[in-house]
């Protein structure tokens, strides 16, 4: 079963929100600078959202690891 494009977009946004908060926290601990941490998070949120969307669509286009639905060979 495939997914609609808007589902991939919503998944990308929700995952990037979590990922960006994580990036900002890690960046703050490394740099000690809140402005730098927010700057890093702001840049990566946009780039990674686009990357995730195309990654998700590529996986959706392949049948690797999916189980095919099998029709019954008889009817009752």
Q: Phi and psi dihedrals of 68, rounded to 5?
A: -75, 140
State both tokens at 45.
């949120």
Cα–Cα dist 30/49, whole Å: 23
Q: Do 43 and 27 touch, CB atoms closer than 8 A?
A: no
The separation between the first and the last C-alpha atoms of the chain, rounded to the nearest angstrom, is: 26
pTM more than 0.85 = no
Nearest to 20 by CA among 42, 35, 53: 42
Confidence of residue 75 (pLDDT cuts 50, 70, 90): low
Neighbours of 37 (CB within 10 A): 19
pLDDT of residue 74: 66
């Amino acid at each position: 079963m495939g997914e609609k494009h808007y589902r991939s977009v919503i998944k990308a946004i929700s995952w990037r929100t979590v990922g960006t908060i994580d990036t900002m926290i890690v960046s703050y601990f490394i740099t000690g600078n809140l402005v730098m941490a927010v700057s890093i998070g702001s840049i990566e949120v946009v780039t990674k959202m686009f990357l995730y969307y195309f990654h998700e669509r590529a996986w959706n286009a392949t049948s690797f690891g999916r189980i095919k639905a099998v029709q019954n060979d008889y009817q009752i």
